[in-house]
């Protein structure tokens, strides 16, 4: 069962969140880890236009995470909540999630969330993943 829009808003408002840190703090840290890793290890064979566009978009998204100047982190959190909302979880499962489960979910889905915010197109992702 997917989470309703109201359930997702409860998470967005902080009524349901990890216990050790705020959701935005956890998202920011996971995104920073991903950004540094991607910028250090992206596939240098990305020379065709779609694959190179993918690399550039994710590097730019990573820079916005590393040097936020606005709503980058709350927007990233919202996208992750929407992704969570599409999964087969109940609101009770989310309420009872441990900090480790929250961190695992975020780390497992941070790349997809950054791709969405960076406006990565399917052909760009396919071209990069084919390298």
Q: What is the pLDDT of residues 69-81, one digit of tens each?
A: 989 999 999 999 9
Higher pLDDT, 61 or 2: 61
* Angle, helices 99-117/23-41, rounded to nearest 10 degrees: 60
Task: Please write the tens of the pLDDT for every residue from 56-112.
Answer: 999 999 999 999 998 999 999 999 999 999 999 999 999 999 999 999 999 999 999
Residue 128 DSSP code:
H
Cβ contact 124:53 at 8 Å: yes
% of the chain residues with pLDDT over 90: 92
Compute the average pLDDT of residues 32-45.
Answer: 92
Q: Retrieve residue 8's tokens.
A: 């997702």
Q: Count Cα atoms within 13 angstroms, Cβ side, for 1.
A: 9
Q: Other CB atoms closer than 10 Å to residue 50's CB: what's the count?
A: 17
- What pLDDT does residue 45 have? 80
DSSP letters for 47-110 = -SHHHHHHHHHHHHHHHHHHS--SSHHHHHHHHHHHHHHTSS--HHHHHT--HHHHHHHHHHHH
- Single pTM value for the model: 0.92
The full set of domain ranges for the chain reads 5-10+21-129
Residue 19 DSSP code:
S
């Amino acid at each position: 069962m997917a989470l309703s829009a109201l359930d997702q808003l409860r998470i967005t408002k902080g009524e349901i969140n990890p216990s050790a840190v705020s959701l935005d703090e956890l998202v920011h840290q996971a995104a920073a880890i991903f950004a540094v890793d991607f910028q250090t290890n992206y596939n240098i064979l990305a020379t065709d236009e779609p694959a190179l566009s993918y690399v550039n978009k994710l590097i730019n998204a990573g820079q916005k995470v590393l040097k936020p100047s606005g709503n980058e982190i709350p927007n990233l959190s919202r996208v992750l909540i929407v992704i969570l909302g599409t999964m087969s979880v109940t609101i009770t499962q989310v309420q009872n999630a441990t900090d480790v489960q929250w961190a695992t979910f975020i780390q497992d889905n941070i790349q997809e969330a950054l791709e969405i915010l960076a406006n990565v197109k399917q052909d760009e992702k396919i071209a990069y993943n084919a390298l």
